[in-house]
A = this chain, B = another copy of it.
Amino acid sequence: MQNFIFENPTKIIFGKGTISRIGREVKRFGSKVLLVYGQESIKKNGIYEQVTESLREADISIVELPGVKSNPVLSLALKGIELARKEKVDTVLAVGGGSVIDTAKTVAAGVKADHDVWDFFTYKKTIKDALPVLTVLTISASASEMNPVAVITKEESDQKYSIRSPFIQPKTSILDPTVLYTLSPEYSAYSAVDAMTHALEGYFNNSETDSPLQDRLVEAFIRTIIENTEIILKNPTDYNARANMMWSATLAFNGLTTAGMGMVSYPAHMIEHSLSALYDIAHGAGLSIVLPGWMSYTLEKNPKKFARLAREIFDVKEIDDEEAAAEGVKLLKSWFAGIGSPTSLLEGDIPESDIEKIAENAVELARIWGLKEYTKDVIVDILNLCR
């Protein structure tokens, strides 16, 4: 196990009927909040009403930034920064999923910066301060509610990049599993893929002899996500299934599974970022296309670890590691397909003739993330395995 620092101070308030607590939580940090949310859905399902009522009861003034779409864009965050400055808000509250939270985090950091907020994403500048961020989670997948990461797309250059800083880590996040009852089967599936990929990218970095604990934790999350996604797709209002899925997704990318594993690289996320930067595809849907392709490409280098996944999760019996590993990739892909997530570029409506273009986009992020071995040619080879 390598040296690490683990510090995750986010307060999680989890369970039925907990949204009404948000006013009191925001009040601990300020009295004028920028309320960031997406489209009309939170007005239809009553969450908007619950949140604003709780804020009003706590005497908190509300300034609204609606309109966040999935694969959130820089232009809206810039609008939010301007609005937050003009209105002098002292806190930022995200009511939504990862896209909304990441927009809120970007605004929170941007307000305090005397330069273009995009400089944080290109690693030219380091975040040194931010407004307090709080969240009410409505889509469970990104774990942004309990981590220091945000991902934003700069539209004009098709760059989907990320930031990481303790200053943007949410102070409090409210997780009420009942809000997921209305999440569509498609997005329930994409959420599962996203959460699983977070855990697995760490897992594949780990040499199992060093950190058996982290492997076992990941396997616990993967088993729980698989089991409960299958329940959710049959019965979207199964409380325990939604609750187990929601808490697993949060813990799968809050630093717990990667503590002690050194620098973890996220190649499948890196390549997927180009898919959702260039095409209108959900992040989870992009991941179910890229992850199996990346695994097939990488299989020979690390057959033992892929074989372990195959045996532990899919009960594969092959004795030979390479055969077991290949069988595991097949079974993971077929599980993704079974829950309705695309497993090829074609199924994701992404032209195979664009592979070169996608690789050119991805190699820029590979450079910024320091993934030197991911040259354009390597990325093309991986994408060819995603056909």
Residues of chain A whose beta carbon lies under 8 Å from any beta carbon of chain B: 1-18, 177, 209-213, 216-217, 219-221, 223-224, 227-228, 239-240, 243-244, 247-248, 251, 256, 259-260
Contacts and interface: CB of A to CB of B under 8 A. Distances in A.
Most chain B C-beta atoms within 10 Å of own C-beta, residue among A2, A209, A247: A247
Q: Which of A5, A211, A239 has the most CB of B within 10 A?
A: A5
The copy count of this chain in the complex is 2
Top 8 A-B residue pairs of the complex, sorted by shortest distance between their CB atoms: A3-B15, A216-B220, A9-B9, A7-B11, A1-B243, A6-B12, A213-B224, A4-B14
23 contacts: A1-B14, A1-B239, A1-B244, A1-B247, A3-B14, A3-B15, A4-B15, A5-B13, A5-B14, A6-B12, A7-B11, A12-B259, A14-B260, A211-B240, A211-B244, A212-B223, A212-B228, A216-B223, A216-B224, A217-B217, A247-B259, A247-B260, A251-B256
B209 A213 contact: no
Q: How would you classify the secondary structure of chain A's contact residues: helix, strand, loop or mixed?
A: mixed
B3 A213 contact: no
Nearest to A5: B13
A29 B124 CA distance: 31
A127 to B, nearest CB: 18
Nearest to A146: B6
A95 B271 CA distance: 46
A357 to B, nearest CB: 41
Contacts of A212: 223-224, 227-228, 244
Contacts of A12: 4-7, 259
A342 B18 CA distance: 46
Contact of A210 (B10, B240, B260): B240
Nearest to A6: B12
